[in-house]
């Protein structure tokens, strides 16, 4: 086919993409157009003029902004019209599922959290072998190829890789004056926290005063707390330390054998108590922070610490950021006491128990009833090509995080993005260390997952607002979870959950 639009999609002198017409994307530099089926050069040879691709994605900026950007580029290269609809997180599940359930082909391409695969997989077109063989797909890590697979078929197209970890202002923790001030006030050494108790104590101390020296009050912790905007994930990060016992197999959310919810046991209750206590360290409005708020609070220098996805860390490390190369990454804090459901008692650990939380991350897929599957898979192939991924990874608000083998090499971040060696090493070591753990937490990924997570978020919100005690709130959630399991079918939920438990228990 003849090329449609960009006569020169790359600059001949160095092979780098010309991003000048795409807003501030060009500010982040450029990247070489790596040869292959997903490249700018290959897409410029397509002729999709007169074809329209309907896409649903998350609200701008997280995942929504790169969807818009690459849609414009794809149109310029191929002639395809790409209509993107943006939906807030709290409404995204229903806006995707209702057309499926009513047999409407509303969208060709969907961007959504990959933990929804348990509900969505029957409606998705398997990724064709030709796309599984492209260089970018072959470099996707085993974790994220597995995440994209249901049964023996890849039905999601990997565009992101996610996990939760701790982000802190290294310049403040390493400042002798701050160390002395904290020691005088608390009698303790200022160090990167290894327990959630330490995290809360440090966060409270560093809240409400100008520890950054810019004449503004700063705060200890930015956390995702908005009920309908991924708050359940922040809560799971805190709970894991108290309830994911390395000596107990068979489930974190449920007891796999009985499908009894475990979310109201003492470990979960303790995690909620610590989440509530952390509110003393939040910035103004921090009790209703969505993911975007957390990104800009830590990434913009307002907060000392945060612990959700990579995005806030990447925001802090952007070119021109006042705190660029002043941050460091570390594993999530842990706990020296962990609930053992087999003995109904607390196990004590000399080294804090700190299970990594591997969140499934954003993904994409093609509707199996789409009449534009050729265009749709080309768009996703283009969206995630090596050149685009290299730029997307360094823009915090985009929500695109490492998911290919090359992304876990410190030199990628040092040489290509200009990170200091110490920052790059802390980042890569923290992320790659999670894959080596044999005591990890994964998202639920079962049929009805949105119902489970919505009721969990509602219960946590009630406790955070003081409307119920932590135990009362989680008892209510557990009762609702039992109803959901019975409605869907215990055997159906158990069969899906067994795959999650196998990942969590592997290596033991």
Per-residue model confidence (pLDDT) at position 14 = 59
pLDDT of 213-264, one tens digit each?
Answer: 999 999 999 999 999 889 999 999 999 999 999 999 999 999 999 999 999 9
CA distances from 181 to 115, 202, 433, 455, 470 (A): 44, 12, 33, 42, 34
pLDDT confidence band for 4 (50 / 70 / 90): very low
Sorted by where each starts, the structural domains of the chain and their CATH numbers stand as 23-158+362-400 (3.40.190.10), 166-332+344-358+439-505 (3.40.190.10)
pLDDT in tens, 86-98: 999 989 999 999 9
Q: Exposed, middle or buried by CB within 10 Å (0-12, 13-18, 19+), for 334?
A: buried
pLDDT, tens digit (0-9, with 9 covering 90-100), for 447-502: 999 999 999 999 999 999 999 999 999 999 999 999 999 999 999 999 999 989 98
Angle between helices 449-464 and 231-243 (to 10 degrees): 80
CA dist list (Å): 118 to 149, 446, 449, 459, 499: 10, 5, 7, 23, 11
pLDDT, tens only, 397-439: 999 999 999 999 999 999 888 999 999 999 999 998 887 888 9
Is a pLDDT exceeding 80 seen at residue 323?
Answer: yes
- What does the block give as tokens for 25? 């994307």
Q: How far apart are CA 310 and CA 294, in angstroms?
A: 11
Residue 201 has pLDDT above 90, yes or no: yes
Other beta carbons within 10 angstroms of residue 117's beta carbon come to 25
Question: What's the length of the chain?
Answer: 508
What DSSP letter does each residue of 18-38 carry, written as one string?
--TTSGGGGGG---B---STT
Strand segments, DSSP code E, in 224-311 are: 254-255, 260-261, 303-306
SS (H, E, C) 408-436: HCHHHHHHHHCCCHHHHHHHHHHHHHHHH
Question: By the 8 A CB rule, do 69 and 25 touch?
Answer: yes
Percentage of the chain exceeding pLDDT 70: 97
Helix (H, G, I), strand (E, B) or coil at 216: coil
Kindly state the tokens that stand for 468. Answer: 């119920």
> Tokens at residue 328, please?
């460091």
Any idea what DSSP says for residue 280?
Answer: G
Kindly state the average pLDDT of the residues 367-393.
96
Mean pLDDT for the chain? 94
């Amino acid at each position: 086919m003849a090329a449609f639009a960009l006569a020169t999609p790359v600059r001949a002198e160095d092979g780098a993409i010309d991003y000048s017409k795409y807003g501030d994307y060009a500010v982040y530099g450029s990247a070489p157009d790596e040869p292959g089926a997903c490249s700018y050069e290959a897409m410029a040879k397509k002729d999709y003029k007169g074809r329209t691709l309907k896409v649903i994605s998350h609200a701008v900026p997280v995942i929504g902004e790169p969807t818009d950007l690459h849609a414009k580029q794809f149109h310029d290269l191929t002639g395809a019209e790409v209509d993107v609809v943006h939906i807030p997180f709290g409404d995204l599940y229903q806006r995707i599922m209702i057309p499926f359930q009513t047999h409407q082909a509303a969208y060709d391409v969907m961007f959504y959290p990959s933990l929804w695969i348990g509900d969505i997989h029957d409606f998705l077109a398997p990724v064709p072998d030709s796309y599984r063989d492209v260089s970018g797909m072959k470099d996707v890590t085993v974790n994220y190829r597995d995440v994209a697979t249901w049964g023996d078929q890849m039905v999601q197209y990997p565009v992101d890789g996610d996990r939760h970890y701790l982000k802190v202002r290294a310049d403040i923790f390493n400042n002798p004056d701050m160390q002395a001030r904290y020691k005088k006030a608390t009698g303790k050494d200022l160090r990167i926290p290894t327990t959630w108790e330490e995290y809360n104590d440090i966060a409270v101390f560093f809240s409400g005063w100008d520890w950054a020296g810019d004449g503004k009050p700063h705060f200890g912790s930015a956390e995702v707390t908005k009920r309908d905007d991924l708050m359940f994930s922040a809560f799971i990060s805190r709970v894991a330390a108290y309830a994911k016992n390395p000596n107990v197999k068979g489930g974190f959310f449920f007891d796999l054998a009985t499908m009894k919810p475990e979310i109201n046991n003492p470990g979960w209750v303790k995690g909620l108590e610590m989440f509530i206590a952390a509110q003393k360290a939040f910035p103004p409005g921090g009790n209703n922070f969505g993911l975007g708020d957390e990104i800009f609070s830590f990434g913009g220098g307002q907060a000392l610490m945060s612990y959700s996805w990579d995005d806030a860390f990447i925001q802090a490390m952007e070119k021109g950021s006042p705190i660029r190369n002043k941050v460091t990454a570390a594993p999530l804090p842990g706990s020296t006491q962990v609930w053992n459901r087999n003995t109904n008692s607390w196990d004590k650990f000399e080294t804090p128990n700190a299970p990594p939380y591997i969140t499934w991350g954003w993904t994409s897929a093609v509707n199996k009833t789409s009449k534009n599957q050729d265009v749709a898979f080309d768009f996703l192939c283009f969206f995630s090509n090596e050149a685009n991924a290299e730029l997307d990874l360094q823009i915090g608000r985009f929500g695109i995080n490492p998911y290919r083998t090359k992304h876990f090499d410190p030199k990628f971040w040092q040489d290509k993005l200009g990170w200091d060696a110490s920052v790059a090493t802390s980042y890569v070591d923290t992320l790659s260390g999670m894959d080596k753990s044999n005591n990890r937490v994964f998202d639920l990924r079962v049929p009805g997952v949105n119902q489970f997570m919505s009721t969990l978020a509602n219960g946590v919100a009630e406790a955070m607002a003081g409307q119920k005690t932590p135990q009362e709130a989680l008892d209510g959630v557990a009762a609702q979870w039992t109803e959901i399991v019975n409605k869907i079918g215990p055997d159906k939920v158990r069969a899906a959950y067994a795959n999650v438990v196998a990942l969590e228990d592997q290596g033991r």
